[in-house]
Structure 1
Amino acid sequence: MAISLQKGQKISLSKEAAGLDQVLVGLGWDEVEKKFSLFRKQADIDCDASAFLLKNNQLKGTDDVVYFGNLKHFSGAVSHMGDNLTGAGEGDDEQLVVELQKLPNEYNKVIFVVNIYKAYQRKQSFGNVKNCFIHLIDQRNNQEICRYDISGNYDDCTAMIVGELEKTGNEWHFNAIGEGTQDGSLDELTRRYR
């Protein structure tokens, strides 16, 4: 049975799923119902999931950002499975696969973020989004290891730091973060880790 996490909680993946190598990181969200307007068509909310690969807790270069414009890390350790432009439908809206054994030793964290594409131009925020979650699935058996359902008031936030994989020695942990930000672009989000 999957572990349900709260904001700030951490679990050991090495203990919960011994021998874990390939982990599917699924992120999902739903758009709140749009208010009807005769005068303008409201744009769909395009949330984008990304992963930042950190060395000594720092993002060293743009090659270490995996997102819809760079679907695979050069090491082959992290892959983005494609961009969902609307968040419509059930289940995961975007997925990333992390192969822990392929990740070069100098990387100690993989940060998972979601930002709203063109949030300021479209006047959108996470107040327009509901049912946000991140979950980790062991690809050996398709079993969910843990899930973090994000709750709280993020009305003024245009991006979110959702969670992170962290390596300490030979052990991997997942940390549920759920920190909203007002970063207007993926580039602004990356500056937090430089």
Structure 2
Amino acid sequence: MATKIVRKGKGIRLKEAAEQKLSKIKIGLGWEVRRGGQLDLDASVFMLGEDGKLPGDEFFVFYNNLESPDGMVKHRGDNRIGDSEGDDEEILLNLPFISPVVKELVFIVSIYDAKNRRHNFGNLDEAYIRVLNLENQYEVLHYDLDADFGDDTEVEFARLVREDDGWRFIPTGYGSKIGLQGYVDKYIPEL
């Protein structure tokens, strides 16, 4: 079985991509910094409810909150230099047991302190997101971000959307300059 290479906006059901129902997966995110550069990129997951908002602050999984309240989404920690082989940051998911209030997961990669350090995604040569089946370590899906994000300081890599019988992976590749706090503000419910 070959890895499915996906394109921006072309969603695929995980069970179709894997040719079986998936339960425990790893979302691997990676990037290469241009020669001579150094960036601290951070992966974050926004676990959204039916209304497109966080059900609570604890459903924002990132370097200061490494686990969702149900324990089914776990961030493996911050890689501050991103120069290792393989995935630079990893998020583990146990799909069948993610809280039923969660309808969508949004995967954002942001540059730490980008504005003050004058860093942006134009400093990257490559970036990707991939899905691995943890039971057999098989790479199910792979999406290379082929866009040039120039002066963007964060990128939405992909979304996982809950469906009646599983999850759909949608590679998005949207860049922005709103900062990680901008995403927090976007997904926090209004009082």
Q: Which residue of 2 aligns with 1:11?
A: 12
Q: Is the 8 A contact 2:114 2:120 kept in 1?
A: yes
Amino acid at match of 2:173: G
Looking at structure 2, the residues matched to 191 and 60 of structure 1 have their Cα atoms a distance apart, in angstroms, of 13
Looking at structure 1, the residues matched to 182 and 28 of structure 2 have their Cα atoms a distance apart, in angstroms, of 23
- Cα distance per residue 1:110-150 (max 9 Å; x no partner): 11110000000000000011210000000111100100000
Instruction: Give the Å deviation of 1:58.
Output: 1.9
Looking at structure 2, the residues matched to 30 and 108 of structure 1 have their Cα atoms a distance apart, in angstroms, of 31
Looking at structure 2, the residues matched to 100 and 65 of structure 1 have their Cα atoms a distance apart, in angstroms, of 16
Instruction: Give the Å deviation of 1:82.
Output: 1.1
Q: How does 1:139-158 map to 2 (within 5 A)?
A: 139-158=134-153
Looking at structure 1, the residues matched to 124 and 57 of structure 2 have their Cα atoms a distance apart, in angstroms, of 28
Structure 2: gaps (5+ residues):
none
Q: Once superposed, what is the RMSD of the aligned Cα atoms?
A: 1.2
Structure 1: gaps (5+ residues):
35-41
Q: Which residue of 2 aligns with 1:183?
A: 178
Looking at structure 2, the residues matched to 191 and 14 of structure 1 have their Cα atoms a distance apart, in angstroms, of 33
Hey, which bits of structure 1, 4+ residues long, moved more than 6 A? none
TM-score of the pair, normalised by structure 2: 0.93
Amino acid at match of 1:24: K
Q: How does 1:56-135 map to 2 (within 5 A)?
A: 56=50, 57-135=52-130
- Cα distance per residue 1:79-137 (max 9 Å; x no partner): 00111001112210000001112201111111111000000000000001121000000
Q: Which residue of 1 aligns with 2:26?
A: 24
Q: Secondary structure at the match of 1:192?
A: helix
Q: Is the 8 A contact 2:4 2:17 kept in 1?
A: no
Looking at structure 1, the residues matched to 75 and 130 of structure 2 have their Cα atoms a distance apart, in angstroms, of 15
Instruction: Give the Å deviation of 1:170.
Output: 2.2
Looking at structure 2, the residues matched to 150 and 16 of structure 1 have their Cα atoms a distance apart, in angstroms, of 19
TM-score of the pair, normalised by structure 1: 0.91
